Every structure is written in structure tokens, then in C-alpha cells.
């Protein structure tokens, strides 16, 4: 068996480039007591990894130059030195971008066999839970309210749109192509969509939200989020989930100052990191799995083939190449 790993070879400036990554041949590691050897099957690429490529303190430590990139992945146990897992078990966890990883068995979750295993990286994994807790806990959508979602056709966004529909809301999805918006309307029953790359976003939002906005689920920040502020209803809630439009900027992006808008609408704006909800993950997975089995929740995935294409799949997040969850199928 030959191992390979993908390292950060230099810190990106602006949008990451393939040159910022190295693919290196390495040895297959040996599991120690309490560990398992896992063959990677699917890798999740996520926008927040861009933040870890900066030499800046944040809620997770930055990657060092030369270090293997790490993200969520699903793999098959090849060898086990833990009673918790047997060879052949499918597990999810945080892994290096490697063909083979060793991992402490306590840090892995067995993936149930009743659903496609990629769901552990998407709708039943970190992005799905982010949608669930962010929308329900902070957004608190009520029947009949208007919920606007940016990044609406991505992994988190598609799930937010559907949960808001389940809660009886009118949902406005904002995404970067007509094809994505068609999916949102035709497959997910989103009430109105806006292609933010096509025309005046302020006017489009005003037309799409004649009764104003009660909940804004913010995946992107920047000018799209600025355009939301004048439309907030009294008591509106803004869920700050992500700010992908600024992840590649080196200088701060100064837009509209939100305070006056929050003041006059008595609105709440709150950020969160999904690990804040770690103690409630089981509840989230249970509810989402139930909605999936009842056909109330759908999911989309964009799957890039080939381990060596992992950096390319990651970079593609910043030009919107994915519909739903972006995943790499290894080998």
C-alpha cells in the first residue's frame, strides 16, 4: 500500500491556487493501541479551511506551511487495535488529506449503513447540523415569516431553505446562478430566488420580500448582507453562519454599518460556531434523519473524483462550482 498526503505548501494570497498545495508520497502509518487504520473514501472540502490557511489566531489553530490539510472525511477501517471498531466498518471523523490515516478510535463515529455514507459529510454531518441549529436556535423561524438565505444552493444553504419551509415560512434563496436557483425552486420549493450575479440585488430583494425579512441566514456576508439590512422587520433575527465573500480578502471589507438597522428594527444579530452545539448533535442528527426518511428533506452533492483533485474541489467553492455539498471521492 502506498500512502499520499496533501500539504499546504504556501499560504494563499487571495483565492487559493493549486500551487499552494503539494501532493507527497508517504508511508502508510501503523495504528497504536486504541487506534485504527482508515482508508479514506470521501473527503469533505469546506470554506472554513481557507481561514486555517492564514497565519492568524481564530477558533481553530492555523495550518502550518508544510502541514497536511485536515478536514472531515469518511473511510473504511482496514486494521483495528481498538475493540470499538472492526475491519470493514465505515467511520467518519477529522482526517488528514491522506489515502490512509491512523486515528484514535474515541474520535471516530460509526456511519450507519441505512443511508449513503456521504450524508455523514453533508446533510447529516457538520453542514446539516449548522443549518439545523443556526436556523432553529438563533433564527427561531415562525410560521408565515419571511426567511432570506444567502449561499442558498450550498451544503448549509439548501438545508436551511428546507427547514424553513418545514417550519411554514416563505423562503427567499440567494445564489450565484440561474441553474442553482432553478434547483432551489423546482426541487426544494423555495418561494422566490435571486441570482446575485445578475442585476441589482437591492431591487430584487425588495420585490421578493414585499413584507420585509424576519430571519436572515447569512452564509456569505459582504454586499448581499448589506442589501438585507434595510428590509428587516421589527424583531428580525440575523444568523451569522459564514462570510465566504470576504474569506479571500487581505484587507477588511467595510460595508454598511449594521447598528442603525438593528436599532430601528429591534433586531438580533448573532454569530455561532457549530461546535457550540456539540452537546446537542445527536438531537440534530435524529431529527434530520427523520425528515430525510419522511421525504421532507432532500440533499444535493457535487462529487469530484480523485484524491489529487481535492485542492481543486476546495478552490471551486469560491467560484460556486458546487450545488449542495462539495465532496471528493477518493480513488
CB nearer to ligand NDP: pick between 90 and 227: 227
| Contact pick of 4, 212, 318, 329 for ligand NDP (by CB under 6 A) | 318
Q: Is 242 in the site for ligand NDP (CB under 6 A)?
A: yes
Other Cβ atoms less than 10 A from the Cβ of 197: the count is: 11
CB nearer to ligand NDP: pick between 95 and 299: 299
CA dihedral (89, 94, 294, 286) positive or negative: positive
Measure the CA–CA gap between 112 and 135, rounded to whole angstroms.
Answer: 26
CB-based contact 75:328 (threshold 8 Å): no
**Least distance from ligand NDP to the Cβ atom of residue 86, Å:** 31
Bridge-based pairing of strands 213-218 and 146-150 is: parallel
| Contact pick of 35, 46, 89, 214 for ligand NDP (by CB under 6 A) | 46
- CA torsion, ordered 276, 280, 283, 287, to nearest 10 deg: -10
Q: Where does this chain touch ligand NDP (CB under 6 A) — which range of 40-48, 89-97, 100-108, 139-147?
A: 40-48
Closest CA to 83 of 34, 30, 32: 34
Q: Is 15 in the site for ligand NDP (CB under 6 A)?
A: no
CB-based contact 72:93 (threshold 8 Å): yes
Measure the CA–CA gap between 71 and 133, rounded to whole angstroms.
Answer: 21
| Contact pick of 40, 71, 130, 310 for ligand NDP (by CB under 6 A) | 130
| Contact pick of 154, 173, 284, 311 for ligand NDP (by CB under 6 A) | 154
Q: Is 92 in the site for ligand NDP (CB under 6 A)?
A: no
Which parts of 194-233 interact with ligand NDP (CB under 6 A)? 219-220
| Contact pick of 155, 164, 204, 229 for ligand NDP (by CB under 6 A) | 155
Q: Is 184 in the site for ligand NDP (CB under 6 A)?
A: no
Measure the CA–CA gap between 80 and 88, rounded to whole angstroms.
Answer: 10
Q: Is 177 in the site for ligand NDP (CB under 6 A)?
A: yes
Q: Is 277 in the site for ligand NDP (CB under 6 A)?
A: no
Other Cβ atoms less than 10 A from the Cβ of 84: the count is: 14
CB nearer to ligand NDP: pick between 19 and 198: 198
CB nearer to ligand NDP: pick between 126 and 136: 126
In the complex, which residues of this chain contact ligand NDP (CB under 6 A)?
46-48, 126-127, 130, 151, 153-157, 175-177, 180, 219-220, 241-245, 272-274, 317-318, 320, 322, 326
Amino acid at each position: 500500500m502506498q500512502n499520499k498526503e496533501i500539504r499546504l505548501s504556501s499560504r494563499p494570497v487571495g483565492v487559493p491556487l493549486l500551487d499552494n498545495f503539494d501532493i507527497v508520497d508517504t508511508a502508510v502509518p501503523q495504528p497504536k493501541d486504541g487506534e485504527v487504520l482508515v482508508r479514506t473514501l470521501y473527503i469533505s472540502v469546506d470554506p472554513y479551511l481557507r481561514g486555517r490557511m492564514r497565519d492568524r489566531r481564530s477558533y481553530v489553530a492555523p495550518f502550518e506551511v508544510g502541514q497536511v490539510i485536515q478536514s472531515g472525511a469518511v473511510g473504511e477501517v482496514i486494521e483495528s487495535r481498538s475493540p470499538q471498531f472492526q475491519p470493514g466498518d465505515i467511520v467518519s471523523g477529522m482526517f488528514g488529506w491522506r489515502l490512509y490515516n491512523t486515528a484514535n478510535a474515541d474520535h471516530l463515529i460509526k456511519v450507519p449503513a441505512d443511508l449513503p455514507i456521504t450524508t455523514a459529510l453533508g446533510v447529516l454531518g457538520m453542514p446539516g447540523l449548522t443549518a439545523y441549529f443556526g436556523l432553529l436556535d438563533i433564527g427561531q423561524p415562525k410560521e408565515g415569516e419571511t426567511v432570506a438565505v444567502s449561499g442558498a444552493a450550498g451544503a448549509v444553504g439548501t438545508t436551511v431553505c428546507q427547514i424553513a419551509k418545514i417550519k411554514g415560512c416563505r423562503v427567499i434563496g440567494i445564489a450565484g446562478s440561474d441553474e442553482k436557483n432553478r434547483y432551489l425552486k423546482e426541487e426544494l420549493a423555495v418561494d422566490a430566488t435571486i441570482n446575485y450575479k445578475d442585476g441589482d440585488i437591492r431591487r430584487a430583494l425588495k420585490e421578493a420580500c414585499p413584507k420585509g425579512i424576519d430571519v436572515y441566514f447569512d452564509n456569505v456576508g459582504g454586499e448581499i448582507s448589506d442589501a438585507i439590512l434595510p428590509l428587516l422587520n421589527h424583531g428580525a433575527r440575523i444568523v451569522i453562519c459564514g462570510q465566504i465573500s470576504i474569506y479571500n480578502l487581505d484587507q477588511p471589507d467595510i460595508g454598511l454599518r449594521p447598528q442603525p438597522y438593528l436599532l430601528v428594527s429591534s433586531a438580533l444579530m448573532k454569530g455561532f460556531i457549530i461546535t457550540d452545539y456539540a452537546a446537542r448533535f445527536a438531537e440534530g442528527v435524529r431529527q434530520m434523519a427523520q425528515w430525510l426518511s419522511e421525504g421532507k428533506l432532500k440533499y444535493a452533492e457535487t462529487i469530484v473524483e480523485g484524491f489529487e483533485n481535492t485542492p481543486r474541489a476546495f478552490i471551486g467553492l469560491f467560484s460556486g462550482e458546487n450545488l449542495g455539498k462539495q465532496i471528493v471521492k477518493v480513488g
